[in-house]
């Protein structure tokens, strides 16, 4: 399902995950592309985090067996990605994508500068859907489309819990503290470099921790940088100058192209910048007139168990984002920032 960036976990959990990935046999289910792998991994890691959060119910003991079960599932999915295969290489971003990203950056920079206080909350509302593949009776693989609509409130300074409201109901989001690139606060984003090359260097340094040389990752730092920036632009609220710098940073990532027509999860058509990796194309969709970011989708480029070439495996549309005074408060206007 469509999720935000996964939290980083303690070293003991990483060790457990690596050990289980080494011990487990090769998976019997079909390989999943980068988008499916990332979404499912984040879902399971979020489930681990959710079970470890304090609750008003009776205390729950989180033993090794429960952790191992969830980590084993993650390890299976990591194995399905072919953990030792080299990351794909790509040519420089096309001239058309650089030109479009520059126009998008100019539009983002011209947005009004919001007046933001530390005691407020970043608010984002999205609708979306993704493909789920499971084993049915007789060993056949069943492909289902899961809908997920979400509202999310994150404290500007990261010092108070937030709120996520979605298809499954409300849940509290623990205070992220200072935040990180994969769990950002407005305050963290406001402190990022506004020079595109310096900003991209920061993002590549973070991407290289888990996707650099010798990591065994099939994602690679270029794709991870593209996905990280996409997550920041789609799921967060940032000052206009930082959003503009993020778009201009993408001009320096190899493999970025343009798509003349793409449709977000709300049915809105736009122009897109995209990157191909692992048989899937990840697209960021912009309104053709305002150049505002509408949403993101991932499209299959070849037939397989996840669908046919041209099918979407994940799609999300941004309906509103703003800075508000309290969790549960909606944006003042649709897509107000």
**Residue 104 φ then ψ, to 5°:** -65, -40
Half-sphere exposure of 25 (CA within 13 A, CB side): 2
- Does the residue 230 lie in any domain? yes
Each residue's pLDDT tens digit in the chain (337 positions)?
333 333 333 344 444 444 444 444 444 334 445 544 454 444 444 444 434 333 332 222 222 222 222 333 333 343 344 444 455 578 999 999 999 999 999 999 999 998 999 999 999 999 999 998 888 777 777 888 999 899 999 999 999 999 999 988 999 999 999 889 989 999 999 999 999 999 999 999 998 887 777 767 778 899 999 999 999 999 999 999 999 999 999 999 999 999 999 999 999 999 999 999 999 999 999 999 999 999 999 999 999 888 899 999 999 999 999 999 999 999 876 654 4
The range of the structural domain enclosing residue 20 comes to 11-80
CA angle, 128 then 311 then 136, to 5°: 85
- Does the residue 334 lie in any domain? no
Q: Are residues 75 and 185 in the same domain?
A: no
The answer to whether residues 103 and 251 touch, using CB atoms and an 8 Å cutoff, is no
The answer to whether residues 314 and 297 touch, using CB atoms and an 8 Å cutoff, is yes
Helix axes 240-250, 95-109, angle to 10 degrees: 180
Q: Are residues 50 and 162 in the same domain?
A: no
Distances from the Cα of 304 to the Cα of 33, 278, 307, angstroms: 10, 12, 5
Instruction: Check the CA dihedral 27-32-34-40 and report its sign.
Output: negative
- Does the residue 57 lie in any domain? yes
- Does the residue 5 lie in any domain? no
Number of separate domains in the chain: 2
pTM of the model: 0.74
pLDDT of the residue at 116: 97
Q: Are residues 31 and 127 in the same domain?
A: no
Q: Are residues 217 and 258 in the same domain?
A: yes
Q: Are residues 60 and 151 in the same domain?
A: no
For 337, counting Cβ atoms within 10 Å of its Cβ (0-12 exposed, 13-18 middle, 19+ buried), the class is: buried
Q: Which of 32, 55, 80 is the last residue of a domain?
A: 80
- Does the residue 335 lie in any domain? no
Distances from the Cα of 197 to the Cα of 50, 106, 208, 219, angstroms: 36, 17, 16, 21
Q: Are residues 251 and 277 in the same domain?
A: yes
Q: Are residues 113 and 231 in the same domain?
A: yes
The answer to whether residues 264 and 316 touch, using CB atoms and an 8 Å cutoff, is yes
Q: Which of 19, 45, 80 is the last residue of a domain?
A: 80
Q: Which of 47, 80, 113 is the last residue of a domain?
A: 80
Q: Are residues 100 and 63 in the same domain?
A: no
- Does the residue 68 lie in any domain? yes
- Does the residue 135 lie in any domain? yes
Q: Are residues 74 and 99 in the same domain?
A: no
- Does the residue 307 lie in any domain? yes
Rg value, the chain, Cα = 20
pLDDT of the residue at 140: 78
Q: Are residues 104 and 60 in the same domain?
A: no
Q: Are residues 185 and 289 in the same domain?
A: yes
pLDDT of the residue at 334: 60
**Sheet (strand 312-324) strand order:** 169-173, 162-166, 141-155, 121-135, 312-324, 293-300, 280-286, 269-277, 256-263
Q: Are residues 270 and 243 in the same domain?
A: yes
């Amino acid at each position: 399902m469509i999720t935000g960036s996964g939290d980083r976990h303690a070293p003991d959990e990483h060790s457990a995950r690596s050990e289980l990935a080494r011990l487990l046999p090769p998976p019997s289910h079909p390989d999943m592309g980068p988008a499916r792998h990332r979404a499912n991994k984040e879902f399971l890691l979020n489930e681990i985090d959710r079970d470890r959060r304090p609750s008003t119910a009776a205390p729950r003991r989180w033993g090794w067996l429960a952790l191992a079960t969830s980590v084993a599932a993650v390890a299976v999915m990591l194995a399905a990605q072919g953990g030792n295969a080299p990351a794909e290489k790509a040519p420089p971003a096309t001239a058309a994508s650089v030109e479009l990203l520059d126009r998008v950056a100019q539009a983002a920079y011209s947005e009004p500068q919001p007046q933001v206080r530390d005691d407020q909350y970043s608010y984002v509302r999205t609708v979306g859907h993704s493909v789920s593949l499971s084993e049915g009776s007789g060993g056949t693989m069943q492909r289902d489309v899961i809908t997920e609509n979400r509202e999310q409130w994150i404290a500007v300074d990261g010092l108070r819990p937030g709120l996520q409201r979605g298809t499954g109901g409300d849940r509290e989001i623990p205070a992220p503290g200072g935040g990180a690139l994969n769990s950002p606060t407005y305050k963290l984003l406001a402190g990022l470099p506004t020079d595109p090359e310096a900003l991209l260097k920061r993002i590549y340094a973070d991407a290289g921790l888990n996707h650099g040389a010798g990591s065994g990752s099939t994602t690679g730092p270029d794709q991870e940088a593209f996905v990280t920036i996409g997550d920041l632009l789609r799921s967060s609220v940032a000052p206009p100058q930082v959003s503009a710098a993020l778009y201009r940073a993408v001009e320096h990532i190899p493999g970025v192209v343009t798509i003349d027509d793409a449709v977000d999860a709300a049915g809105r058509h736009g122009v897109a910048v995209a990157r191909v990796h692992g048989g899937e194309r990840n697209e960021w969709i912009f309104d053709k007139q305002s150049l505002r970011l509408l949403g993101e989708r991932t499209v299959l480029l070849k037939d397989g168990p996840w669908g046919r070439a041209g099918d979407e495996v994940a799609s999300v549309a941004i309906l509103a984002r703003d800075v508000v005074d309290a969790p549960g408060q909606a944006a003042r206007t649709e897509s107000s920032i």
